Amino acid sequence: MQSSTDRQLYDYWDRVRNGRIAPNRAEIEPAAIAPLLSETFIVEYAGPMQFRFRLAGTKICDQFGRELRGTEFLELWDGADRHAMTSLLANLFGEGAVGHVRFQGLSLEGRHCNFSMVLLPLTATSHSVNRCLGSITALEPHYWLGMDPIVHLDLTDVALDWPTNGPAGRAPAMAAPGNDFGSPGIPNGRPRLKVYEGGLSQRKE
């Protein structure tokens, strides 16, 4: 399942990149995605194993009960889930992959909500991917979201695709944030990283 926000953001990103591995950050026009901004974010590669929120929409911050700007993206995840997200980000920043994620959020009061997230590579001043545009969207309209903060995340599905020709025929790999990430899966029976060739339109749900 993908949210409407995921799909609209992906479609916009795909139009702007126009066949390239990723669009430039300066090409992303906030006015063009104004209805989505409250559920979008930008993460930057800030150094080995450092992926920092540069921006986070108001709805996301309200649901998490705190300002995410300036915080570490990987700190949202624990244990095997952090390993899986690190592998995803290595593929995104190192090879221009797109990430599709579903997770369950646990609130401070013990409530649960399912979320969808998409992560889309961006370039900045160079041709290397060093930022990512993403969205986080609640898949159920729980009344308590924004009042009872989400404090713990559990991954339920993680997938990658390479919109430009798939991983075997992608553009030359860009400078990776590091490649000692182990195998791209989640151990101990948790969901594993899946790979889809040809972009979002090829996914079968």
Domain CATH for 36: 3.30.450.20
Domain-located, residue 120: yes
Total domains, the chain: 1
Domain-located, residue 198: no
pLDDT range class, residue 102, cuts 50, 70, 90 = very high
Domain-located, residue 104: yes
Sheet holding 193-197, edge to edge: 50-56, 40-47, 129-138, 112-123, 98-107, 150-162, 193-197
As a whole number, mean pLDDT of residues 90-119 equals 96
Q: Rounded to a whole number, what is the largest CA-CA distance in the chain? A: 47
Residue 43 CA to its chain's centroid (Å)? 9
Domain-located, residue 33: yes
As a whole number, mean pLDDT of residues 147-152 equals 98
Domain-located, residue 171: no
Q: Residue 186: what pLDDT? A: 32
Average pLDDT over the chain reads 84
Which residue range is the domain that position 123 belongs to? 4-148
pLDDT in tens, 161-176: 998 755 543 443 333 3
C-alpha triplet 205, 34, 138: angle, nearest 5° = 40
Q: Which has more confidence, 194 or 32?
A: 32
Of 45, 55, 51, nearest to 126 by C-alpha is 45
Domain-located, residue 161: no
Q: Residue 47: what pLDDT? A: 87
- Cα separation, 184 vs 23, whole angstroms: 25
As a whole number, mean pLDDT of residues 94-117 equals 96
Of 130, 106, 147, nearest to 50 by C-alpha is 130
Q: Are 177 and 87 in contact (CB under 8 A)?
A: no
As a whole number, mean pLDDT of residues 35-61 equals 95
> Where do runs of H (alpha helix) occur along 45-111?
58-64, 79-95
Domain-located, residue 202: no
Domain-located, residue 8: yes
Q: Which has more confidence, 135 or 48?
A: 135
Q: Which of 72-86, 99-113, 123-137 has the lowest mean pLDDT?
A: 123-137
